[in-house]
Structure 1
Amino acid sequence: MPRDKKRRTDTKPKKRVVSGRRLSRRASSSSTIDSPEPEPPYRPSRSRSVSHFANPEDYPVQKRCWVSAEPQPNAEQSSLEAVKEHLKTYRGYFTNYQDPRDRSFQQDPRNSPTVQLEYPNTTALEKFIVLAPRDGDHYNPIMDLEQTLYCIVRSAYPSKESTLDPSRRAVSLSISTKHPPTSPPVSTTSNDDFSDDLPSKPRILRRIQRAVHLKDGPAFMAALDEANKVLCKLKYPPVDPDIMDDRPCPPNRLLEGVSRWEDKELPKDVLMRILEENYQRSVGPWMGSLKKYEAFSQNVYGELMPSLVYKIIRQTGLNADSLFLDLGSGVGNIVAQASLQTGCRSYGIELAHAPAEVAARMVPNLRARAHMWGIKCGEIEVEEGDMLKSSRVNELMSQADVVLIDNKAFPPRVNEELRPKFLDLKEGAYVISLVPFAQTLSARVTQRNVDDISTIFEVHEFQYHSGDVSWGNGGGTYYVHRVDRKGYAEMRTHLERSSSSRSSSGRSSRRRS
């Protein structure tokens, strides 16, 4: 008899449906052939089948966001250093229209054009070499500087964000590589203000934007100098010389803006800007070595993008008291985001040497960069090693609140060997993966699978979209497993009682016959 055919009975069998999903022919056939006396269906309110939460945006994460009072860390990879290491791949971008012979804006190993930008924290500033990359996909320091300056202004003047017209807030910051205009730039002086504190200053952000668009070097330098003067007046307010008492100096108003986020979620635009700054400096210069991998193996280097990680962190309720594990952490970008976004303690382990080496450099750089913004992120630990053999993984698994496993390219053997480790997870802990660890998402728990490790999980399926992962333009699926031993215990008790009842009934029938 073919496996996909049901046994003939006196009445036409009804197709069994579980949680709104029709079972496959193979599953239905196996049930009919292997179990002449089907087990009574049992499904409590806790369901292992595929379902959906509400929008992740409905789950805000409360972060203990505070101003960092620690000394400035030294292990910081600056924009200037990132460009200097690959200077030959950059070229001049700006021009001096008043003096065509001026070469000061061109690439020069000894004297490249350099500017600096004031960051919110006291004494924090960064130098930029204002050149353009020859390859449009490489790090662009001019675009980076623009985006950071706009973000600093928004954080300093949150109530004034509405005064930034929508066209400027949504303006594309990409830098054209076409030839500069043949005519000199037009004066851009306007009567609108950068802030209410300095009403005589023209709108500096618009001047910077226009100078970049026209590739006008002197205008860009002058506008950025004005922007730094404004930021310095906010960071170091002038002291009245007539004051002779011991009253403290006026506070840094940029840091006051950061302190408004205390006990609140770190603003998403600031979070993404810090992550992007750190990625461009700590990971970008080594992308060539990261692409050297064996195709279709567990060593394939791929990333979950910050947009998807942001949703996952919200879904799981990660917070400053949580422990986050990333098994197969690559360059450490996800553990960095988790600790920065929520203040949690995070740990990542990576088998491949190249990304693990980058992660080791990235962690202190992130801490230093967050400090420049006045933010203190949670503790981060990264390790190079095998997640299946690491004693540190075994030690932390029982403490973990969220475990992330990007197992899209893992061979089945690795996923199988990971499953026993989940028995150490505490009640309510989450496992996030791109391939589910439950053998059959829509199957009910029966006597045949009650002892399977995956039955301790409540499993939910979610869609990710284009741009959420680095290895393709399409969407896909990720799975949220939540440890629910209480529900599992209820299922097991019910099954044991049902089995005992059927056994007693069978013995009674045999005695009567």
Structure 2
Amino acid sequence: MGPFDGMVGKGLKPLTAQKQKVHSQTIKTGPTTTSKHRSQPAQSTSKPSPPLSNGQGKTLNGNAPKPQKQASPAHSRSNEPKARIKEEKRSSSLKRSSPTVSTPRFDSDNSDEDAEVKSSKRRKVGEDACVDLSRRIRNIHSFSVLQDSGALPMIHAADVANLGTDEKPNPNYATFFTALTGDEDEAPVIELRYPSVSHKERYQMVQGKAGDDFKPLDEIIHVISTVAENYLLPSQAEPITNESSGLLRDLKRARLRGHKGEAGAQSKYVAGVEKYNALLDSLSKDGSIQKNLDELHSLKLPLVETILQQIYARTVSPHIHTLRAYENGTDNVYGELLPRFCSTIFKHTRLNSSHVFVDLGSGVGNVVLQAALQIGCESWGCEMMPNACELAALQHEEFIARCRLWGLAPGEVHLERGDFLQNEAIGKALKNADVVLINNQAFTPALNDKLIMHFLDLKEGCQIVSLKSFVPHGHKMQARNMGSPINVLDVRELEYFSNSVSWTDAPGRWYVQTKDSRKVEAFQRKMNGA
């Protein structure tokens, strides 16, 4: 069975659209596949990324260091570099919420407007971008009127955040604009343009009654800012980003006035979205967006995070409670590696679009999807927890739609269900893998031992990333243990910083084990007196 077979899981119902008070289009669902889309090569204008800034790793010559105990969250920041802390603060608004939070965080209604406009300025390609000159970013099908027409099977924002119907009101949301003029609807549904040619997303102008509920108006502003920063040249983005007259400033002011209950704010907000839609439509029709994408060979992490957060908020967040049913002390304990940490892993292992990435114990598929989107590589994952598998399937389907919507070509995605030690497809993928991720933080010793035996089937140079080293501290190759599979592993210890994983704010250690059989061969020659 494939990853989409039997999507109605035990105790988990797929997310379905709720009817709106305002008439909206019907969303049709259909089969989904993910594959790479190649456009004609374009000459690169990108600059190489600067060296990795996540601290210096320490080569251990085959010996893993003694793991240090995790610091408590209260003491997690005291010894970190100041530059890193500043970087975390700057990007904190884009971090994925932990499993206890049900919605991504975008701009706040109470933020200072000038600060928000300044923070939306375009940034140069920096440490977040993984430049890969052989990669083609643009999804050619997203910019073909014939191929991108028709309904796109996606979960609209209005399907998640809405007032419900007269027969079945939604108790979690209320109208955002409360002071209405005579021609304004209570909570209209508006459409937002994305970079692709044909498709728009529906949003209803509502607000959540709880602080962590989905915020449609905030996401609209964030999407517009993200498009301006990543898809447009500075001159093309000027009508959006201008500090004194730009659309972002107008939208944030209208949102703030609506929050204060001022009349006319709704019309101004809707007018701003319509102006943005018209601008993006013009830039798409004249080929500007397509040209800009063809000159890119990397995606900035904030763009990747935005897309992944949209997917997560529409698929995983409504069902997040189903992931809390797994107990400590077993191999089935759920936890997420957050996007910035995953990006660091990709850069450290030099993962690129020609590689194969495998995540053993992939949960809801977050890292698998991030690797396919950010790097463009062939990306595999395997999970055995039923509820996590159901959510991974929902994320995969939404991922395909969102990549089309944003005009991006991801790598191939394969999500398998079951025991990764027994899954035949995963076994074949491992033989071709360049990077294998194993979040073994909560794995039992027995499972870790079984995994080690499978490392013999990996190709030379394959890198195994884990949160616990597979090579015991102080291990030395000797005649009596020469047949142990851990002897083919060279281990390097690194440190991840705070806000890198979902289960703690504290920093910690991670390990990169590279398969290198040469030292075993050299030891054998030495033993034989050669």
Q: CA deviation at 1:298?
A: 1.8
CA root-mean-square deviation: 3.0
Equivalent positions of 1:229-240 (< 5 A) are 229-236=275-282
Instruction: Confirm or deny that 1:308 pairs with 2:386.
Output: no
Q: Measure the CA separation in 1 of the matches of 2:153 and 2:520.
A: 48
Alignment-derived partner of residue 449 in structure 1:
481
Alignment-derived partner of residue 63 in structure 2:
49
On the 8 A contact 1:154/1:161 being kept in 2, the answer is: no
On the 8 A contact 2:157/2:201 being kept in 1, the answer is: yes
Distance 1:474 1:195, change over 3 A: closer
Alignment-derived partner of residue 176 in structure 2:
93
Q: CA deviation at 1:374?
A: 0.9
Alignment-derived partner of residue 355 in structure 1:
388
On the 8 A contact 1:115/1:127 being kept in 2, the answer is: yes
Alignment-derived partner of residue 64 in structure 1:
135
Instruction: Confirm or deny that 1:210 pairs with 2:253.
Output: yes
Q: CA deviation at 1:477?
A: 1.1
Alignment-derived partner of residue 225 in structure 1:
271
Higher relative contact order (CA 8 A, sep 6+): 2
Q: Measure the CA separation in 1 of the matches of 2:263 and 2:347.
A: 43
Q: CA deviation at 1:61?
A: 4.1
Residue among 473, 478, 497 paired with 2:529: 497
On the 8 A contact 2:356/2:379 being kept in 1, the answer is: yes
Moved more, 215-224 or 149-158: 215-224
Which TM-score applies when normalising by structure 1? 0.71
Structure 1: gaps (5+ residues):
1-44, 106-111, 164-192, 238-248, 499-513
Equivalent positions of 1:66-81 (< 5 A) are 66-70=137-141, 71-72=147-148, 74-81=152-159
On the 8 A contact 2:358/2:381 being kept in 1, the answer is: yes
On the 8 A contact 1:46/1:487 being kept in 2, the answer is: no
Q: Measure the CA separation in 1 of the matches of 2:231 and 2:373.
A: 20
Equivalent positions of 1:205-354 (< 5 A) are 205-215=248-258, 216=262, 218-236=264-282, 251-261=286-296, 264-354=297-387
Q: CA deviation at 1:447?
A: 2.0
Q: Measure the CA separation in 2 of the matches of 1:321 and 1:391.
A: 22
Distance 1:152 1:450, change over 3 A: same
Q: Measure the CA separation in 2 of the matches of 1:384 and 1:435.
A: 24
Alignment-derived partner of residue 183 in structure 1:
none
The SS at the match of 2:512 is strand
Residue among 460, 474, 490 paired with 1:427: 460
Q: Measure the CA separation in 1 of the matches of 2:129 and 2:245.
A: 41
Residue among 388, 411, 424 paired with 1:391: 424
Distance 1:236 1:436, change over 3 A: same
Q: Percent of counterpart pairs with the same letter?
A: 28
AA partner of residue 94 (structure 1) = F
| Superposed CA offset, 1:213-261 (max 9, x none) | 2225743443443343344344336xxxxxxxxxxx9533233332221
Distance 1:482 1:286, change over 3 A: same
Distance 1:272 1:217, change over 3 A: farther
Q: Measure the CA separation in 2 of the matches of 1:81 and 1:97.
A: 24
Q: Measure the CA separation in 2 of the matches of 1:253 and 1:288.
A: 43
AA partner of residue 206 (structure 2) = L
The SS at the match of 1:404 is strand
| Superposed CA offset, 1:438-473 (max 9, x none) | 123x43322233221111111111111221100111
User: How many residues are treated as equivalent by the alignment?
Assistant: 397
On the 8 A contact 2:349/2:463 being kept in 1, the answer is: yes
Residue among 187, 197, 202 paired with 1:122: 197
The SS at the match of 2:201 is strand
On the 8 A contact 1:46/1:458 being kept in 2, the answer is: yes
Q: Measure the CA separation in 1 of the matches of 2:495 and 2:417.
A: 30
Q: Measure the CA separation in 2 of the matches of 1:492 and 1:402.
A: 27
On the 8 A contact 1:465/1:476 being kept in 2, the answer is: yes
The SS at the match of 1:88 is coil
Alignment-derived partner of residue 480 in structure 1:
512
Alignment-derived partner of residue 507 in structure 1:
none
Distance 1:136 1:473, change over 3 A: same
Structure label with greater radius of gyration: 1
Q: Measure the CA separation in 2 of the matches of 1:59 and 1:253.
A: 22
Instruction: Confirm or deny that 1:133 pairs with 2:202.
Output: no
Q: Measure the CA separation in 2 of the matches of 1:59 and 1:150.
A: 18
